[in-house]
Amino acid sequence: MRLLLVEDDTMIGEAVLDALRADHYAVDWVRDGDMADTALRTEDYDLVLLDLGLPGRGGLDVLRSLRARRNTVPVLIATARDAVGDRIAGLDAGADDYVVKPFDVDELLARIRALIRRSAGRAEPVFSHMGVTLNPATREATVNGETVSLSAREWAVLEPMLQRPGVVFSRAQLEQKLYGWKDDISSNAVEVYVHGLRKKLGSDMIQTVRGLGYLVPRQ
């Protein structure tokens, strides 16, 4: 899963970045509204963590323009404790949820999981398909009830496909789940992780769609 972190405060930004990366998210961090707007126009994210008080263009403005483009990416806003008006304006401008600074990191991670789950059309926290079960909160994976150990990057490739069986993901889309801007991308990375996943989950679990990408079959 790939997240955009929009935060101008260096200390908060670094702390949140560390926590998100430790929880295996690929994260891009930008520090002002214009950079956030550019990132949202050019990259695909699974969720945006948006500070509202930013230098230059404000977070609310970025959010309104995002929704005006009919972009449905989940947005979690972060506001100061006394800024109830900002929270209301943020939710009414299309944010999905908010956290109040200073926020508890574990609560932040749980809210992120909940929003990503809802955006994939799921209410249940654990999801299963064709005998494979993933629990994003504990990061436990099982195959036919047996625990299987997936690397963070194997998980990152599998999770979006298992959430949407039958949907084809291009190699570029899956690469985006793996890396932030500052990471190197080896050209065959996705193939390597798909190969590893097939060995662990069974070769039927991920199908190659020639010229298009990969999918987890509906059944």
Which residues contact Ca ion (rule: CB under 5 A)? 8, 51, 53
* Helix axis angle, 152-163 to 189-201, nearest 10°: 80
**Closer CB to Ca ion, 55 or 165, in the complex:** 55
3-state secondary structure (DSSP) of residue 137: coil
What region does 176 belong to: left with phi over 0, alpha with psi -120 to 50, or beta? alpha
**Closer CB to Ca ion, 53 or 196, in the complex:** 53
**Closer CB to Ca ion, 11 or 123, in the complex:** 11
* Residue 25: both structure tokens together: 């998210």
Residues 6 or more apart whose CB falls under 8 angstroms from that of 17 comprise 5, 27, 29
**Closer CB to Ca ion, 13 or 136, in the complex:** 13
Residues 6 or more apart whose CB falls under 8 angstroms from that of 189 comprise 153, 175, 178
**Least distance CB 80 / Ca ion (angstroms):** 8
Cis preceding-peptide flag for 102 (omega within 30 of 0): yes
**Least distance CB 209 / Ca ion (angstroms):** 43
**Least distance CB 40 / Ca ion (angstroms):** 17
**Least distance CB 52 / Ca ion (angstroms):** 7
